[in-house]
Structure 1
């Protein structure tokens, strides 16, 4: 259409060309200052159309001029699908991927436990089924990788609080208040968990009731100084405080070495049971408390891997742990 139009040097209604731009080009063609022709790319030139319209300026220094900007300004649809859709659930990720997938679509998983995600690359590279590099005309076609569907696992607010406080040292009052505020996210250990934790860490595992008792005991001794502390044969820590205010009885407090966190890392997701180590540091008669979740990355990564397998099964697509070679 472009070539015919240029030769005639006339305007055409309802075409895909801009009226003003067409008139200017037509005028150049009419005066012989511009010649429009089509060139054919060499065989094996991947990613190019079979014919490319170009303008050739005449005169002392002829040169080729691209007509693509002229064509693109009247494009009614995008040249290709681009952009990244963001979904909020795994089910939506599967459904939208099935809607757009091609025979080359692939799914990638970022298993970083602090910010896990799944991404479907709709226009991923064509697979090399032979497994041997081929630079000929039959070589696998490289695609843009710009059309994507992204699912960032929505981390629950409760999970983020525990992650943010993991390893953070707190005074007696702050730690006691934290335990009281989050007691609903704790669980009693099963016999199997108790046995395993005692074998691995040589310490006792506290129930939620024990931690409530502990937190209240700490509140009583909020203005106290530690008098002595020792590790019992059971693995518990025994502390005796020297009272500096009224309201405390000065009796020793037994502190267990671990407790069980029962929480869903993901919003509306599966509840996981994660062991947590309870620790303290005593210096100059004072004490600070902190906790350390035991391998939270392992628990979250297992969930991501399971959901990756589920997405692959429900879409029929290849799935990988990692990131594609092209940027978004």
Structure 2
């Protein structure tokens, strides 16, 4: 069996592959034990609909209407963060929780709950204030000017939003769910606001899922597994 990631996620089985050991040559029939490797079965791994939907919007700028529609249609994929990720518990975390916590620490983010994401997609309001900050250096006589923009909520407080959410989706149809971290961000330009949902490291989940399915196929068939493409 031959497994490949690119250009397609597929598993190819060659029925008449070359036999093991050295070859002998017969003057009439040619090389004994030669296989033409032309009888093949190809299985293309079916990506789940959930995976396709999240990958389609990952990293793409969305309007508030587009964000609200996407969240409404896919809110069941968003799961509650564990107490460890909410800093409500210091119990021994699972390895996946530690990975998520590391992401949050590196980007200075915090995990939100599903209802917060729904509220953000439906009732997001920004009040922007601009201030001019003047700094004078008496030692060298220089003066620096800096415009400071600050985003505030409806009550005038600095805007504090959850920037990370957890989703649980299968990579392949009918397979186990994978917990993935999704980042929520926005960009204000003039009077418009664009939103973005970015799924962190989906390639790791994709590779893990495929390796697991290939290992399962190998165990069931007892065939050798190689990564790459068979000879033509």
- TM normalised by structure 1 equals 0.53
Structure 1 residue aligned with 2:77: 185
> Could you tell me how far 1:216 is from its partner in structure 2?
2.5
Select 2:52's aligned residue among 160, 164, 168.
160
Choose between structure 1 and 2 for higher RCO, CA contacts under 8 A separated by at least 6 residues: 2
Aligned-pair CA distance for 1:294: 1.0
Q: Secondary structure at the match of 2:18?
A: coil
Q: Does 1:240 align with 2:133?
A: no
Distance 1:140 1:258 in 2: 61
Measure, in 2, the Cα distance between the counterparts of 1:120 and 1:304: 16
Q: 1:250 to 1:202 in 2, by over 3 A?
A: closer
Q: Which residue of 2 aligns with 1:124?
A: 17
Contact 1:197/1:205 (<8 A) preserved: no
Does the 8 A contact of 1:274 with 1:296 survive in 2? yes
TM-score w.r.t. the length of structure 2 is: 0.73
Task: Provide, for residues 58-86 of structure 1, a one-character-per-residue CA deviation record: whole Å limited to 9, x for no partner.
Answer: xxxxxxxxxxxxxxxxxxxxxxxxxxxxx
Alpha carbons 2:25, 2:32 under 8 Å: kept? no
When Rg is computed on C-alpha atoms for both structures, the one with the higher figure is 1
- Paired residue for 2:187? 281
Q: Specify the alignment match of 1:5 in structure 2.
A: none
Partner in structure 2 of residue 262 of structure 1: 168
Q: CA RMSD in A?
A: 2.8
Match for residue 204 of structure 1 among 110, 124, 127: 110
Contact 1:108 1:319 in 2 (8 A): yes
State the alpha-carbon separation in 1 of the partners of residues 34 and 193 from structure 2. 61
User: Who is 2:64 aligned against?
Assistant: 172
Higher strand share goes to which structure?
2
How many pairs are equivalent? 196
CA distance in 1, matches of 2:219, 2:155: 62
Distance, in Å, in 1 between the alignment partners of 2:116 and 2:183 is 15
Deviation at 1:263, TM superposition (A): 0.6
